Amino acid sequence: MAHLLIFGLGYTASRIAATMRAAGWRVQATGNAGDIAFADRAAVLAALGEASHVLSSVPPARNGGDPVLETYGAAIEGKALFYLSSTGVYGDRAGAWVDEATPTIAQDGKGRRNARAEADLAWLERGARVFRLPGIYGPGRSALDRVKQGKARRIALPGQVFSRIHVDDIVSAVVAALVQDAPAGAYNLGDDYPCSGNQVTEHACRLLGLPPPPLESLEEANLSDMARGFYMENRRVANGKAKRVLGWVPRYPTYVEGLGGLL
């Protein structure tokens, strides 16, 4: 029986775990919802001794370094490795398309230091399948929820675009890679329609029959440093490699299908 050990059983990884268990795989995981504590070295090493596949969704430390690689790097040698990364590794591209051949910040040295980009590169160097993810939405985490909670924003940034992906489409791509023993390397995941966040918010408001929030400038919005940094990056994520290599077809090719399904 194939045995998957997941480091970090969060929002996305918990859905991957459920799907793989349903497919007959043995799955163990660290994290609050997992069955092993990350710091329980003996238990983790025992699980790694039996695991055929390892998936990490643990983010890098803020000051750099990947906790999984630093703590269990030697023990994961020889396993089929999978890592959930971020399209933030590409930095700001002024709205241009990025694909897996686009250098990351860690590779070209441009822009601010990016711990995620460094972790992304470290996993690639170990022969992992690295999934670069844009903004993730799904049940309980979507523009519909933000609108209903009064937390939705519309920021006036002409030409600003983002890519996004429904959590179920991440699951289907990662599961395809696990089952097929996909080639090592980076895989961009995202839907087929990068667009402004305002479009998504406005559509969510229409679906709920609510007025859209006021349009604000970036200064008026008084965002946190993290949120402001998000709006300072502008890019479109190409997903062609995942479609070609994994045979992946997103169930929700745009936010319209995604929000409609959630509603």
Tens-digit pLDDT profile for residues 192-210: 999 999 999 999 999 999 9
Provide the β-strand partners of residue 3: 26
Task: Give the chain's domains with CATH numbers.
Answer: 3-262 (3.40.50.720)
Provide the β-strand partners of residue 85: 132
Task: For residue 130, give both structure tokens.
Answer: 């690295």
Does residue 149 register a pLDDT over 60? yes
Cα distance between residue 106 and residue 185, in whole Å: 16
Name the pTM for this structure: 0.95
Task: For residue 139, give both structure tokens.
Answer: 């049940």
Task: For residue 122, give both structure tokens.
Answer: 């470290």
> Where does the pLDDT of residue 113 fall: very low under 50, low under 70, confident under 90, or very high at 90 and above?
low
Q: Give tens-digit pLDDT for 151-196.
A: 999 999 999 999 999 999 999 999 999 999 999 999 999 999 999 9
- State the residue for tokens 């990947």: 66
